[in-house]
């Protein structure tokens, strides 16, 4: 009986990047060039010593073809919106008419006022998070 080795399911953004990069036969420096970051940045992401910032998100999503983030909670969905758009918390807050502190609180688990929930739902829909969310492509 032959043992088949299966790769573990990627858990971190860096693991997703490594899996897709290797599947495509790319070197870390080639991925770095494609994403506009340094070679060492990609090495650190893949090793899990650092994580990409939201400003790097659009390039990562374009490279992967999906959004490699959990989206179970509202806070996770809001972080995913920022990541997919490459926004700071201030930019995300401005997109829905709240302060940076307000957005930060929501990302951290605070419950928005009912009037803002509809606005956030619209923002999540416009970002098309759920059409980006599949890691079956790794």
Number of domains present in the structure of the chain: 2
pLDDT above 50: residue 103? yes
pTM: 0.85
> What are 10-38's pLDDT values in tens digits?
899 999 999 999 999 999 999 999 999 99
Is 123 found in the same domain as 85?
Answer: yes
CATH of the domain at 79: 1.10.260
Domain limits at 98?
74-132
Domain identity same for 46 and 80: no
Q: Are residues 96 and 128 in the same domain?
A: yes
**Do 79 and 48 share a structural domain?**
no
Is residue 19 in a domain? Answer: yes
User: Does residue 7 form part of some domain?
Assistant: no
2: in domain: no
> What DSSP assignment string belongs to 25-87?
T--HHHHHHHHTS-HHHHHHHHHTSS---GGGHHHHHHHHSS--S--SSHHHHHHHHHHHHT-
């Amino acid at each position: 009986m032959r043992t088949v080795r299966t790769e573990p399911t990627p858990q971190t953004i860096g693991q997703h990047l490594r899996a897709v990069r290797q599947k495509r036969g790319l070197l870390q420096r080639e991925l770095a060039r494609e994403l506009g970051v340094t070679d060492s940045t990609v090495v650190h992401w893949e090793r899990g010593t650092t994580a990409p910032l939201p400003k790097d998100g659009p390039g990562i999503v374009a490279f992967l073809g999906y959004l490699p983030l959990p989206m179970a909670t509202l806070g996770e969905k809001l972080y995913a919106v920022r990541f997919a758009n490459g926004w700071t918390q201030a930019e995300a807050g401005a997109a829905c008419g709240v302060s940076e502190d307000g957005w930060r609180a929501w990302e951290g688990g605070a419950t928005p006022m009912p009037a803002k929930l509809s606005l956030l739902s619209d923002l999540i829909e416009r970002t098309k998070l759920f059409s980006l969310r599949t890691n079956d492509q790794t």
